[in-house]
Structure 1
Amino acid sequence: MACEPRIRQAGADEGPALFAVFYSAVHQVCSRDYTPAQCAAWAPATLDAPDWHARILALQPLVIDVAGEVVAFADLQADGQIDCFYVHGQQQGRGYGGMLLQALIAKASVMKLADVYSEVSLSAQPFFLRHGFVIEQALRVQCRGQWFDNARMRLTLGTSC
């Protein structure tokens, strides 16, 4: 019997599990669109635990948990920014990204946001396009000495009376 995935708030002690998801997504998925040097800059092999812990506490991400294992995480900030959105490299294609995005959109609705936006990697752009996001602007950003092409993407949310 397969365990059902559940969406929940990340725990304060789950930084290492979230880092494992982040690292695998970059090195197993984004490596199709970015060089090894870019992937190493984006997701270094060694975790700076205090910095990562502080970042996770600030982001307050949602996670998808399957049988006690975190397989994906994403956050939604007060201004509608999705800063992090990662599905474990070995968990791709199982619908976890769509589930997580639906949860973020529901949260945005509760927050009464008109739209959500993110700076999206080349690898993730097809996913976001399939879910109604549009590319607002092509970007070139730098991280740890490496340049990356990505795009700012936005989804306008429906309004209700």
Structure 2
Amino acid sequence: MSYRIRDYVESDAGAIHSLTLAAINTVGRAGYSQEQVDAWAARHGDAERLHSRVLSGHMVFVAVDAQDRPVAYALLEPDGHLDMLYCHPRHTRRGLADQLLDTAESQARSLGVERLYTEASELARPAFERAGYELVRRRDFDLDGVPIHNFAMEKRLGQLPAARD
């Protein structure tokens, strides 16, 4: 199957919301208990919440299939915080996370961002490590009274080497 990465458009909001919940509820169970998955899924608002974040300056990069349907996405905040990276369960293990992280990094570099940072789930951590993010610390916390964890990670963006003549 072929994919491409493009910028978010307003009509993506519903599909992105659905794929987020599918990813949490399906893939999430590989690293978290059902109680943790339920608490995590409950924290994701409706499709309008994502769209309002885009209107406030957050950038969403969307991986789409051949029919232009969203199958994965990443949300990058202007300060370099990569807040979301989700892939629909039917489209995992196809390099989409790597492509989305590359796209987000390129955009961040073009904006002069010096550091990317995230709170990666147990499941997303390997994708961030492949992209050069370093573990800062494990974060243990509660979501609505349910203990859960993720990993604070960051990637320093140095200057790219100058092109040689």
Q: TM-score range by the shorter chain?
A: 0.7 to 0.9
What is the percentage of aligned positions where both structures have the same residue?
A: 28
* TM-score, normalised via structure 2 length: 0.85
2:79 aligned with 1:79, yes or no?
A: yes
**Distance change >3 Å, CA 139–CA 110, structure 1 → 2:** same
Aligned-residue offset at 1:60:
3.4
Find the counterpart in structure 2 of residue 101 from structure 1: 101
Q: Is the 8 A contact 1:61 1:75 kept in 2?
A: yes
SS at structure 2 position matched to 1:83: strand
Give, in whole Å, the separation in 1 of the partners of 2:112 and 2:50. Answer: 29
Aligned-residue offset at 1:53:
4.2
The RMSD of aligned alpha carbons is 2.1
Give, in whole Å, the separation in 2 of the partners of 1:16 and 1:44. Answer: 16
- Where in structure 1 are there 5+ consecutive unaligned residues? none
Find the counterpart in structure 1 of residue 148 from structure 2: 148
Q: How many residues align?
A: 159
* TM-score, normalised via structure 1 length: 0.87
Aligned-residue offset at 1:44:
3.4
The one-character-per-residue Cα deviations of 1:91-145 (angstroms, maximum 9, x if unpaired) are 1111111111110111011011112010011111122112211111211233233
Aligned-residue offset at 1:46:
9.1
Give, in whole Å, the separation in 2 of the partners of 1:81 and 1:64. Answer: 19
In structure 2, give the amino acid aligned to 1:41: A
Q: For 1:20-99, what aligned pairs fall within 5 Å after superposition?
A: 20-44=18-42, 48-55=46-53, 57-58=55-56, 59-66=58-65, 67-99=67-99
Q: Is the 8 A contact 2:17 2:47 kept in 1?
A: no
In structure 1, give the amino acid aligned to 2:32: Y
Give, in whole Å, the separation in 2 of the partners of 1:113 and 1:56. Answer: 18
Q: Is the 8 A contact 1:33 1:123 kept in 2?
A: yes
Q: Is the 8 A contact 2:28 2:123 kept in 1?
A: yes
SS at structure 2 position matched to 1:93: coil
Aligned-residue offset at 1:80:
0.7
The one-character-per-residue Cα deviations of 1:63-84 (angstroms, maximum 9, x if unpaired) are 0111221010111111110011
Give, in whole Å, the separation in 1 of the partners of 2:115 and 2:43. Answer: 34
Aligned-residue offset at 1:35:
1.1
Find the counterpart in structure 2 of residue 129 from structure 1: 129
Find the counterpart in structure 2 of residue 117 from structure 1: 117
